[in-house]
A and B are shown apart, each in its own frame.
Chain A
Amino acid sequence: MDSFVNWSLLALSAPGWGGVLLQGFLRSIEIALGGYALGLLLGIGGAFGKLYGGPVLRDLLECYTTVVRAVPELVLILLLYYAGTDLLNQLLGLVAIGPVDISGLLAGIFVIGVVQGAYSTEVLRGAIKAVPAGQIEAARAFGMSPAKVVRRITLPAMLSHAIPGLANLWLIATKDTALLAVVGFAELTLVTRQAAGATKAYFLFFCAAGALYLALTLVSNLFIGVIERHARRGLVERR
């Protein structure tokens, strides 16, 4: 070895592990995107339930968000991973389809989505509460139906308040995917550990994976900046 670092280990084709790493990276992004989208859906439902739902629904949602915010993600991931796949198989057994092998991808998206859902419920609830009540009353006074008020007024008006929180959640989603390594899902972190273990070049591979995650964060930050500027257009800058 003539140089201190053996860069050929990162080569994209077979003897190098670069291709495997990139594949793991891709799966991490897939899970993060899927989990974030699911979390957003749960969050919108949860926020509206918490603000406009009946007392029982409100209490149940409060339990959901409190539990997720109090229990470590790692524990939740284990619980949901086993319980989720188990429950689904039992349900399928009841309707006589028989057990299916749930792909790790779907299970991962489900798990990250449930965790993200609780966080985005809180973020969106805060953002909806920040919309001036007069705007919503005005919409009602114009005779808009509740669904139309949500679509035309509440959701667009709350966006500028919600975007910093939602951006943070996206960054958390990308980093939470690393926890799936613990349940044996082959995303970037686990693949990195396997590559490092096989070649003993621990530093090289962990730093390479770190650079990939960091690149994802930095690129996301660029996009977030653009989206934020778009959502805040027409608002007076607070200085």
Chain B
Amino acid sequence: MSNETTHALALAPEDLPKAESFFKPHRIVLIVLFGALVTAIALFMRWDWLPRYLPRLGTGILVSLAMLFSTSILGFLLAVPLGLAQVTGPWFLKGPARLFCTVVRGTPLLLQLWLLYYGLGSLFPQFPAIRQSFLWPYLREAWPYGVAALTISFAAYEGEVMRGAFAGVPQGELEAARAYGMGRWTLFRRIWLPRAVHRALPTLTGETVLQLKSTPLVATITVVDVYAVISKVRQETYLTYEPLLLLALIYMCLTGLLVLAFRYFENRIPTRGA
């Protein structure tokens, strides 16, 4: 599949408006209308539950962010060998890497998550060796399965991106490095990997936003992230819309911050002719 299309689906740095672009007559009217809508929502809907749940919401947001960052970093570390194996690997590495990417990208994340949690989770207790190992206290929890599923998913999507990025580094640059007498490892570390990451960076932004949007799925396996906290609120207060609106707002803020952070980093990398 093509790389540019996946990142068209997530918010990209250029999608966020610039501050000066708000001062046009029709935009001021729209902003006033929007402000009126927000005021109406704040005044006429029930928000008295909010202070009670605020601490739990804070922890939930932290759990969501921890899920996002740990799985993105782990997934990226997996994606580099996956991409490399597909570009230069011998057939016995190339085949499994491609198969892994195809299978993971071809099945829904929710299904993978449930396969790991309910499937492996029901299989593990049958083995005494696992029950007695030091890992057991962790394997009884839900979050390792969430981290595993999200990591695998991120690695598969990003592995495909890295494949394109590794293949797209101009041959001349690699030849120049070889001509300088760099060893294979030095060449990889100094030239090939940094250039590939640079090429993949815009797509990486999109994939990370998509990853943030996948994190609420872990709530279905009892990890208490911000989505799970809001579900709890809905159960306890019998409110339908207010908690969900707040949740949407929280995710919009998180996405916005993430995109701004990536915009900052992308601007810091010097590019010629930009």
Contact A189 B27 (CB under 8 A): no
Beyond A168-B2, A210-B107, whether A74 also contacts B119 by CB under 8 A is no
B115 close to chain A: CB less than 8 A: yes
Minimum Cβ distance to chain A for residue B36 (Å): 15
Beyond A59-B30, A75-B248, A189-B111, whether A66 also contacts B220 by CB under 8 A is no
Q: B interface vs A, CB < 8 Å?
A: 1-2, 5-6, 8-11, 15, 24, 26-27, 30, 102-103, 105-112, 114-115, 118-119, 122-123, 209, 212-217, 220, 227, 240-241, 244-245, 247-248, 251-252, 255-256
Main secondary structure of the interface of B (DSSP, over half): helix
A182 close to chain B: CB less than 8 A: yes
Query: Looking at A72, A182, A192, A197, which has the most chain B CB atoms within 10 Å of its CB?
Result: A72
Q: A interface vs B, CB < 8 Å?
A: 55-56, 59-60, 66-67, 69-76, 78-79, 82-83, 86, 119, 122-123, 126, 164-165, 167-169, 171-172, 175-179, 181-182, 189, 192-193, 196-197, 200, 202-203, 206-207, 209-210, 213-214, 217-218
Contact A56 B26 (CB under 8 A): yes
Beyond A66-B15, A70-B256, 12 additional pairs, beta carbon < 8 A = A67-B248, A67-B252, A69-B209, A70-B255, A72-B215, A72-B216, A75-B247, A175-B108, A178-B111, A182-B110, A202-B123, A217-B107
Residues of B contacting A167 in the complex (Cβ-Cβ under 8 angstroms): 1
Once bound together, how far apart are the Cα atoms of A181 and B118, in whole Å? 15
Minimum Cβ distance to chain B for residue A100 (Å): 19
Contact A202 B122 (CB under 8 A): yes
Query: Looking at B111, B118, B215, which has the most chain A CB atoms within 10 Å of its CB?
Result: B111
Main secondary structure of the interface of A (DSSP, over half): helix
Contact A83 B241 (CB under 8 A): yes
Beyond A55-B24, A74-B217, A79-B248, whether A203 also contacts B123 by CB under 8 A is yes
Contact B1 A164 (CB under 8 A): yes
Contact B251 A206 (CB under 8 A): no
Contact B227 A164 (CB under 8 A): no
Interchain pairs with CB closer than 8 A, number: 143
Residues of B contacting A72 in the complex (Cβ-Cβ under 8 angstroms): 212-216, 227, 251
Residues of B contacting A73 in the complex (Cβ-Cβ under 8 angstroms): 213
The 12 listed contacts between A and B (C-beta, < 8 Å) are: A56-B30, A70-B11, A79-B244, A165-B5, A168-B1, A171-B105, A175-B107, A189-B110, A193-B114, A202-B115, A203-B122, A217-B107
